[in-house]
Amino acid sequence: MTKLFLFDFDGTLVDSAPDLISSANYIFDVYQKKSISYEEGREIASDGVNAYLRMRFDNNFDTLTEEFLMHYSNNILNNTVFFEGIPEVLELIKKRNLYWGIVTNKSRVLTEKILKFYGLLNHADILICGDDGLTPKPSPEMLIRACNSLDVDTNDTIYIGDGLRDIQAAISAKMKSVLACYGYLKTNDDIESWGADFFIHHPDEIIHLVNS
C-alpha cells in the first residue's frame, strides 16, 4: 500500500520554465548573445543553470552562474505556478492521511521561496533539496533519506518526476516510479526505455494512484 508520495519540483509540481528562460535570456542579452526560444528553454528547464549557459558560453561558468542565480532569485515568482491540478492532488493525499514530500536537485533557498509564496512551505511532510549535503539524483540517496525520515518503507513509496534521473533514482531506491510526461521532456527522449512504472500526461492522473 502506498503511504508516501514524493515529487520532483521543477517540471513536476511547478512550471518554472518561464522564469528560468527569462533569466537565461537576460544573461544572454547582457553578454550580447542570441536569445533562446521558449521551446528551446523549456526542454532543459530541469537540467540546471549550466544547461542554459552551455547553450551560449564555453567557460567562465562560476561568474555566469552567480549572475544567473541572482537575477533568477529576484524574478523567481514572476511567472512560476503550480501545474494545473497539483494543489488538488496534494489536498487529496492529505485527506487520505498519507504523506507527501519533495525531493529536488534545486537549492533549498529557491525551492522554499516558491513554496512560501504559495503557502505550502509547511505543508510538505518532507523536503530534501540538492544542497542538503546528500548525493543528488540520479543517486537514490535523497529518496531513501526522505523515506527514512518519515519511517516509511521505500516499497510503500511512489516517486513522481519528469526526467530520466528521477526514474533512475526511484528504481535504485526500490520504489514505484511515475514519469510526468507533462513536464520538461526533450523531443528525442526515449521514455519507453527508462523503465518507469507509470506514465501520466496530466497531474489529475495522480489522483488514480492516490485512490488505488
Q: Of all residues in the chain, what percent are helix, strand and coil, respectively (each to 5)?
A: 45, 15, 40
Count CA atoms within 13 Å of residue 33 on its CB side: 18
DSSP label at residue 7: E
Report CA-CA distances (Å) from 107 to 84, 87, 202.
Answer: 23, 22, 26
**Catalytic residue flag (residue 58):** no
Residues paired with 7 in a beta bridge: 102, 160
Place of cell 523536503: 127
Question: Strands 198-200, 176-180: parallel, antiparallel or unpaired by DSSP?
Answer: parallel
**Catalytic residue flag (residue 8):** yes
Place of cell 505550502: 120
List helix spans (H) across 44-163: 49-53, 61-74, 86-95, 108-117, 141-150
Instruction: Identify the active-site residue in 10, 15, 19, 162.
Output: 10
Instruction: Identify the active-site residue in 8, 19, 125, 162.
Output: 8
Check if the beta carbon of residue 161 is closer than 8 Å to that of residue 14: no
Check if the beta carbon of residue 196 is closer than 8 Å to that of residue 84: no
Residues carrying an active site annotation: 8, 10
